[in-house]
Structure 1
Amino acid sequence: MNSLTELERKIIRELQKELAITATPYARIAAQLAISESDLLARIKNMQESGVIRKIGAVLRHRLVGYSANALCVWQVPEDRVVTTGEMFAALPVVTHCYERVTHAAWPYNLYTMVHATTRDECQHHIASMHRMSRIDDYQIFYSTQELKKISMRYFE
């Protein structure tokens, strides 16, 4: 892989910061870097296609927007149903994370979902609905007791 240019390093530094809440957050970054928005977007796309950037995502501080209850629900899903069940769960607006994990003899759960709601009862209601939809009977629920600081790796600081 080729090494990054100084401009690409600057772009990565900017993308690590919080995006402005505006209709055109990339235009602001482009202006700071003294390039056009279309040039910035093309460079980001190239870095994604080359694997330099894997994803650009948001971190929702769910407690600040009123979601004070969240539950990790682990499901034991038959292998032939993991993909369809995962897609069904991931499409639900209350599910913020949905992913498959490797099982072990002492831990048979292979599908993990994170459910956010305003109360634990509401979380339980959503999970019960997921249970009815999927007909997956073997699952466990783990409620968060505190929110830990969410940070991502920082490069080229």
Structure 2
Amino acid sequence: MLTQKEMQIASLIQGDIPLIKCPFKHIGELTGSGEQDVLGIIEDMMKKGVIRKFGAILRHQKAGFKRNAMLLWAVPPSKSEAVGNILASFPEITHCYQRTPAFAGKYNIFTMIHLRDNGHGLRDNEYELLIQRLSSATGIKDYLLLISEEEFKKNSMEYF
């Protein structure tokens, strides 16, 4: 169970952290704590597993990643962990999940892929080239490509 102070701090860091010289000092002022207290509370919540990750969120389209897609893989259950680890090792893959029940009764590994514009435009076959590499590395030939056409909403979950 979180203390009131932990919930206050979690609430303030779950969204955008202010772009100022001393953001944790500012959070301390808002919560009646010192900067070191705020950092200590965040560290404790990480050690307890309450906070899993702490980092910047990149706006991928503004950073040049103009295309993204979800790629679903039909992987035999006995190979799910090994195939998932192989797929997760590719830098183009940002998310890799096993889903139960499997989509359409067979697609159980979901990956999100991002392709960057190299300044010369994207080749029409760029997805196919990446998928060939992924398929070759895993030995999985049955997949479904879902290309993103428009982003309607993207934000992090807010708990407090």
TM-score bracket for this pair, using the shorter chain length: 0.7 to 0.9
* Residue ranges of structure 1 left out of the alignment (5+ in a row): none
Alignment of 1:58-69 (within 5 A): 58-69=56-67
How much identity, in percent, do the aligned residues show? 34
Secondary structure of the 2:141 match is coil
Q: Tell me which residue corresponds to 1:102.
A: 100
Contact 1:98/1:113 (<8 A) preserved: yes
Shift in CA distance, 110/92, structure 1 to aligned 2, threshold 3 Å: same
Structure 1 residues 71-114: Cα deviation after superposition (integer angstroms, max 9, x where no partner)? 11100111121111111111111001100001358431110111
Contact 1:82/1:111 (<8 A) preserved: yes
Shift in CA distance, 112/57, structure 1 to aligned 2, threshold 3 Å: farther
Shift in CA distance, 131/21, structure 1 to aligned 2, threshold 3 Å: farther
Alignment of 1:1-157 (within 5 A): 1=1, 3-5=2-4, 7-19=5-17, 28-34=23-29, 35-37=34-36, 39-50=37-48, 52-56=50-54, 58-104=56-102, 106-117=104-115, 118=117, 119=122, 121-156=125-160
Shift in CA distance, 104/87, structure 1 to aligned 2, threshold 3 Å: closer
Report the CA distance between 1:47 and its aligned residue.
2.5
Report the CA distance between 1:147 and its aligned residue.
1.4
Report the CA distance between 1:70 and its aligned residue.
0.9
Bigger shift: 133-142 or 9-18? Answer: 9-18
Report the CA distance between 1:128 and its aligned residue.
1.3
Shift in CA distance, 78/144, structure 1 to aligned 2, threshold 3 Å: same
Q: Please give the TM-score of this superposition, normalised by the length of structure 2.
A: 0.78
Report the CA distance between 1:51 and its aligned residue.
5.1
Report the CA distance between 1:52 and its aligned residue.
4.1
Shift in CA distance, 40/131, structure 1 to aligned 2, threshold 3 Å: same
As a proportion of its length, which structure holds more helix? 1
